[in-house]
Amino acid sequence: MRDQKAAFHQLARELQGLNHVRLVLDAPLACYTRFALGGPAGLLIDAADPVTFSRALSLANSSGLPVAVIGGGTNLVAADEGFPGVILRYTSGRIKREGRRILADAGASLDELVEFAIEHGLGGVETLARIPGWVGGAVYGNAGAYGHSISERVSSVAVTDGATRMEMPAAACEFAYRQSVFKRRKDWVILSVCLELEPADPALLKDTAAKIRSERDAKFPADMKCAGSIFKNLLVDQLPAGLIASIPPCLIREGKIPAGWFLEQVGAKGMQRGGMRVADYHANLIYNAGGGTARELRRLIAELKKRVQDRFGLELEEEIQFLGFFPDEGSSA
């Protein structure tokens, strides 16, 4: 432990001379996640310049310490014990227009990107309004809502592994429902994305976004300590025909069935374990009602998954990401 602490301090000293960098030793991860869960990370590095970030990533990778890169923390569950390593965040939030394209850095707010596009009369991302978090995380998880995902508009993604910067065309990103190549290749860290949009009436775009924001604000208040939906929706083409026949047809949209429907059938609404609670109005929403812990959240998730498995024979898959847990813990802790 003492040697590890010394390693954090040594790395911090090596990074102090870099521009546009912020260092936090023993960083409380609860302050960097929307769930407000998680113990300390040995060292947190915020870098707002791509060259600085790449250098910091390279030094961290060479330190022998565990390394993880995160974004805005809106879809992240950090362990109560924290993370015994280095956390990096690329915090540049630049957004600019080039004709019908928008270039956005990974640290930009996704909702600010939506607003920027609307102001410039560019359509294609307005349905992403009020999805919390950063652009990098949205690309990483192929965020979406109301039948659309960000991947539909991605032209290319700039990434770094700490040594080399690469421009990846959308076809190389392996986008699928809430998936991308970056979930598999965690050594490729997103720096920015280029989006190809369509000219549109700003007033119509603004109206669409306003309606969506109103709906999302009602379900996910800004002060609610949650990550939005916990589980991915189910793809119809991956379900048994007999099960599909038992599901109300009105629930099947864009080839998906809401995970919340299955959860509602097994009595998820209002369930609570410690300080973690399933919303009374949304079976796929878990929030920190006060004093909750990551262990309680994972216990609740495991119970919900078991109920659905026992009733429907389905394995629900989490949308949220986990940090600092042992690999064999899964979601059953």
As annotated, the active-site residues are 178, 229, 319
SS (H, E, C) the chain: CHHHHHHHHHHHHHHCCCCCEEEEEEEEHHHHCCCCCCCEEEEEEEECCHHHHHHHHHHHHHCCCCEEECCCCCCEEECCCCEEEEEEEECCCCEEEECCEEEEECCCEHHHHHHHHHHCCEECCHHHCCCCCEHHHHHHCCCEECCEEHHHHEEEEEEECCCCEEEEEHHHHCCECCECHHHHCCCCEEEEEEEECEECCHHHHHHHHHHHHHHHHHHCCCCCCEEEECECCEEHHHCCHHHHHCCCHHHCECCEECHHHHHHHCCCCCCEECCEEECCCCCCEEEECCCCCHHHHHHHHHHHHHHHHHHHCCCCCECCEEECCCHHHCCCC
Closest CA to 292 of 272, 279, 275, 277: 275
Q: Which two tokens stand for residue 311?
A: 């009733």
Q: Which two tokens stand for residue 201?
A: 């009436």
Q: Which two tokens stand for residue 10?
A: 């040594």
